[in-house]
């Protein structure tokens, strides 16, 4: 029987999570990262004052979680290594208990026919390195390269899909522009240096991997299309600049090995260029990604500014555009985010037309909902809204594949409800719900829908 939406053979069906959000920061020996520190100093900034100490206890329950992944026919799962767990302090000796933990997790995944996709850095700078400036400090790129080399050495025999960074623009926005990640600095010049040094660190890791290993290495970017309000030249310019700041500042160096000239010119005009080294140009040019993970949740809609920025205010990307709320847009009322499924198709067409049709996959897409127990029926959360969300995005993804886009898979954020940075457990995203008191996992309705789609490698409308 043919399906309405049949996906290519060996399509990656799975989900994604990160170390800090699932493992539990107080489980097992581990150095502190910036989240442990920030929560200790300002717990009030986290929803219901819930911090990263236990989260979803993956550290102790990974066997149960992986068995559940197998149950719903995952063939792949993306997780991250905690740098502060593997190398407490960020530099120096490896923590043997961390090696043992990650080895067991990867072995367990492989035993269950689930391929581990491993991210090296998911927002969780070791505290000691943040104290010397974090990514502002070029020295940290060397420490990161040493960490990457150690991870490849320890786990490269089993892990064949590596990602240097998850959403590297987020620590830039959160930590250095908009004050929603530690170190809570508002300084565009530092933000731009952080972004630049991150890509230097990325290229160093890619180089090491390509010289010594035979798998694939890539990066995971949240590519949020910047849609202009209208075709008016002022709106088009606003969306172009927004795209340069939030997408192309990482996409171009990762895939093309160079920064967009327009972005360089703009930063030069406002005296915001980062400090660079002469050898960086070749480093970026020669160490391109093999694979691109694409995180997509919502579109970004922008328009020309209604007013001139205050000339005395700190330089910001927002000097060049205003956000625009499109009338009649479809919303996820719980998260306050627009739902625009076609965005996933537009991203893939852009990669096909402008980025050499690089091998890519949806590494995150998902729907966060508050108080999901409202939808509990006979012990199961009936999350039809999530099924519709996944299905409608997959339809557009399918269309992009039919039109020749090089798309290899779809991972939902996330497998079981997990701790979400400042939002803690406010919005739930998982296929499995997690009871925070007992840590009991229970499959939601979306889990059985996804199990069937994965098993059949497609679905009917």
Give the CA count within 13 Å in the CB-facing half-sphere of 460. 3
Q: Residue 422's closest CA among 36, 51, 137?
A: 51
Yes or no: say if 27 and 84 are a contact pair by the CB < 8 Å rule. Answer: no
Distance of CA 42 to the CA centre of its chain: 24
- The yes-or-no answer on residue 382 being catalytic is no
Say which residues have a Cβ less than 8 Å from residue 354's Cβ, sequence separation at least 6: none
Catalytic residue among 115, 173, 364, 372: 364
Q: Cα(66)–Cα(62) distance, rounded to whole angstroms?
A: 6
Dist CA 25 CA 31 (whole Å): 9
**CA 58 to CA 274: how far, in whole Å?**
39
Chain-centre distance of CA 407, in angstroms?
A: 17
3-state DSSP call for residue 207? helix
> Quick one: tokens of 134?
């974090």
Residue length of the chain: 461
- Spatial separation of the C-alpha atoms in residues 241 and 96, rounded to whole Å: 46
Determine the Cα–Cα distance for residues 376 and 372; give it in Å rounded to an integer: 7
At 200, list the tokens: 């230097």
Report the run of H or E that residue 14 belongs to, with start and end. strand 12-16
Residues 326 and 254 sit within 8 Å (Cβ to Cβ): no
List residues with catalytic annotation: 364
């Amino acid at each position: 029987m043919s399906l309405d939406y049949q996906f290519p053979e060996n399509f990656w069906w799975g989900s994604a999570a990160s170390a800090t959000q699932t493992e539990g920061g107080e489980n097992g020996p581990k150095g502190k990262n910036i989240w442990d520190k920030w929560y200790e100093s300002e717990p009030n900034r986290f929803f219901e004052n819930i911090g990263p100490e236990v989260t979803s206890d993956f550290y102790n329950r990974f066997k149960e979680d992986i068995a559940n992944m197998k149950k719903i026919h995952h063939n792949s799962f993306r997780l991250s290594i905690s740098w502060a767990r593997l190398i407490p302090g960020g530099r120096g000796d490896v923590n043997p208990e961390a090696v043992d933990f990650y080895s067991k997790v990867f072995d367990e995944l492989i035993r269950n026919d689930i391929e581990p996709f491993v991210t090296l850095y998911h927002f969780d700078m070791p505290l000691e390195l943040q104290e010397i400036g974090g990514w502002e400090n070029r020295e940290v790129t060397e420490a990161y390269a040493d960490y990457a080399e150690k991870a490849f050495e320890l786990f490269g025999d089993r892990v064949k899909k590596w990602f240097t960074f998850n959403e590297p623009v987020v620590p830039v926005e959160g930590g250095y522009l908009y004050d929603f990640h530690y170190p809570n600095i508002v300084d565009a010049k530092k933000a731009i240096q952080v972004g630049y040094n991150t890509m230097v660190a990325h290229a160093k890791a890619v180089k090491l991997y390509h010289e010594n290993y035979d798998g694939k290495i890539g990066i995971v970017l949240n590519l949020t299309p910047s849609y202009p309000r209208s075709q008016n030249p002022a709106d088009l310019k606003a969306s172009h600049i927004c795209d340069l700041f939030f997408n192309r500042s990482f996409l171009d160096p990762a895939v093309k090995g160079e920064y967009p000239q327009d972005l360089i010119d703009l930063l030069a005009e406002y005296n915001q260029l980062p400090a660079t080294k002469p050898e960086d140009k070749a480093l970026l040019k020669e160490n391109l990604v093999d694979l691109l993970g694409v995180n997509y949740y919502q579109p970004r809609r922008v328009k020309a500014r209604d007013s001139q920025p205050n000339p005395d205010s700190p330089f910001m990307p927002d000097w060049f555009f205003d956000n625009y709320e499109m009338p009649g847009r479809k919303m996820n009322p719980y998260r306050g985010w627009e739902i625009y499924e076609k965005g996933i198709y537009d991203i893939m067409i852009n990669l096909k037309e402008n980025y050499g049709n690089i091998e890519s996959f949806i590494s995150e897409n998902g729907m966060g909902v508050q108080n999901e127990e409202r939808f509990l029926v006979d012990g199961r959360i009936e999350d039809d809204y999530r099924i519709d969300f996944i299905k409608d995005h997959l339809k557009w993804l399918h269309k992009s594949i039919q039109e020749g886009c090089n798309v290899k898979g779809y991972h939902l954020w996330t497998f079981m409800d997990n701790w979400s940075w400042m939002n803690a457990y406010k919005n739930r995203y998982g296929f499995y719900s997690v009871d925070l008191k007992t840590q009991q996992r229970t499959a939601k309705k979306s889990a059985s829908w996804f199990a069937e789609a994965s098993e059949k490698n497609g679905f009917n409308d």
